[in-house]
Structure 1
Amino acid sequence: MQTIFIMVKCDLGKAYVVANKAIEMVENVSEVYSISGKYDLMMKCYLSEDMDIGHFVNEQIQTLPHIKDTFTMITFKAFA
């Protein structure tokens, strides 16, 4: 299992709409956080090892309504 975080910039006033749609429509989205700064949301996603990250972001996240921009961070190791 691979974990990625996607920072999302939304159309003005649409962050809650995007967050709800991501949770409802994209199975791999585990959690969505509202954040401060350049981006409006941070999505935590779990992907199978054979899933292509680029295709996932391009086809399942960036196609959601009201998304203007994304920035994807790929993780290597979780420390507990």
Structure 2
Amino acid sequence: MSLVFVQIRCTPGKTYDVANEIWDREVVSELYSTSGDFDLLAKVYIPEGQDVGHFLASKLFDIAGIQQTLTTMTFKAF
């Protein structure tokens, strides 16, 4: 499995709706509300052999209310 972190900027007033939809899809292992440029931070494990972009686009990025995302790939845990 690969681990990625996804920061999500939501349409104003839609953060809780987006967060609930993300959580209901059971795609993320952890989901946080954050301050700063993005509203949410998701920890996502990508199944072995899956393309990261395709997985995220089909499982997460089609949620209404998401304006922008920033995905950070991880390589090694210390």
TM-score by length of 2: 0.92
2: CA distance between counterparts of 1:8 and 1:34? 10
Percent of aligned positions that are identical = 44
Once superposed, which parts of structure 1, at least 4 consecutive aligned residues long, lie more than 2 Å away? Answer: none
SS in 2 for 1:42: strand
Q: State how many pairs are aligned.
A: 78
**2:54 alignment partner in structure 1:** 55
1:3 matched residue in structure 2: 3
CA apart distance, 1:78: 1.4
Rounded to whole Å, the distance in 1 between the matches of 2:50 and 2:27 is 11
Equivalents in 2 of 1:20, 1:70: separation in Å? 17
Structure 2 unmatched ranges of 5 or more: none
What's the counterpart of residue 72 of structure 2?
A: 73
Give 5+ residue unaligned stretches, structure 1: none
Deviations 1:21-62, CA, capped at 9 Å, x for gaps: 10111x331111011111100110011121110101222211
The amino acid that maps onto 2:76 is K
Letter in 2 for 1:32: L
Instruction: Say which SS state the counterpart of residue 29 (structure 1) adopts.
Output: coil
Equivalent AA in structure 1 for residue 21 of structure 2: K
1:16 aligns with 2:16: yes
The 2-side partners of 1:58 and 1:65 are apart by: 13
